[in-house]
């Protein structure tokens, strides 16, 4: 019995160690009537802005979006599209202190408890104490706008943001795109959290 419990525990641990959670804040809105099938299986094309056309790596970003759109049943079809998809992506990083607050660098920041503050004498009368080194958080944000090709009317818009410790942009962006389209084409009202598991 003890061996069985130990084996199950090890399987549980190995399963947890193999994935990571990408928690994404999503807000989406549809202008279609509830229950509408106008976007079900729709054929679409990407609409690139002039600066996106020259942007290195944007083809890869479109490929990630295309995979997420295919997952919800949309078909890329440049010639026969009834829907256009405009996408934008922002990615960046910033430092945070041990409490998760933005880190503004070493030194005094104008008051006690400032971010990254150098503290003299905190570990004894003549000792020097410093806060732990800051950590890096990576922010990935995607925005998708789906429009009717003929009328240019917005049919669906979704925005998704993840902030976490993962720097491998392609895997994280793929999960953020998936989260952005999780409830397509009938999203819940207001911001909500979507969790996607990805491999380590």
pLDDT (tens digit per residue) in 91-128: 999 888 777 777 766 543 433 443 333 444 444 444 45
The count of residues in the chain is 200
The DSSP bridge pattern shows strands 43-46 and 75-76 to be parallel
| Beta-carbon count within 10 A of 57 CB | 10
Structure confidence at residue 38 as a pLDDT band (50, 70, 90) = confident
Evaluate if residue 36 carries a pLDDT over 50. yes
Residue among 41, 48, 46, 47 at smallest CA distance from 70:
41
Domain ranges of the chain: 20-93+136-200
Distance CA 4, CA 133 (A): 42
Residue among 169, 92, 99, 91 at smallest CA distance from 134:
99
Give the chain's radius of gyration (CA, Å). Answer: 23
| Beta-carbon count within 10 A of 91 CB | 16
Instruction: State residue 112's pLDDT score.
Output: 41
Structure confidence at residue 37 as a pLDDT band (50, 70, 90) = confident
Residue predicted with more confidence, 131 or 183: 183
Task: Enter the CATH code of domain 20-93+136-200.
Answer: 3.30.160
Average pLDDT, the chain: 82
161: β partners = 25, 141
Instruction: State residue 116's pLDDT score.
Output: 39
Helical packing angle, 169-180 and 58-71, nearest 10°: 40
Q: Is the pTM of this model over 0.85?
A: no
Structure confidence at residue 12 as a pLDDT band (50, 70, 90) = low
| Beta-carbon count within 10 A of 20 CB | 17
Q: What is the mean pLDDT of residues 177-200?
A: 95
């Amino acid at each position: 019995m003890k061996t069985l419990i130990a084996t199950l525990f090890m399987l549980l641990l190995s399963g947890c160690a193999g994935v990571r959670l990408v928690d994404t804040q999503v807000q989406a809105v549809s202008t279609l009537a509830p229950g509408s099938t106008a976007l079900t299986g729709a054929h679409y094309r990407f609409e690139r802005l002039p600066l996106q056309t020259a942007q290195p790596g944007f083809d890869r970003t479109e490929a990630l979006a295309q995979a997420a759109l295919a997952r919800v049943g949309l078909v890329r079809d440049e010639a026969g599209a009834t829907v256009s998809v405009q996408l934008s992506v922002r990615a960046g990083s910033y430092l945070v202190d041990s409490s998760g607050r933005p880190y503004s660098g070493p030194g005094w920041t104008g008051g006690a408890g400032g971010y990254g503050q150098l503290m003299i004498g905190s570990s004894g009368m003549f000792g020097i104490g410093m806060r732990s080194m800051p950590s890096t958080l990576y922010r990935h944000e995607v925005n998708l706008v789906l429009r009717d090709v003929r009328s240019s009317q917005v049919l669906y818009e979704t925005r998704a943001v993840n902030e976490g410790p993962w720097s491998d942009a392609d895997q994280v962006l793929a999960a953020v795109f998936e989260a952005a389209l999780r409830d397509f084409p009938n999203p819940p009202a207001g911001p909500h959290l979507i969790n996607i598991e990805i491999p380590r």
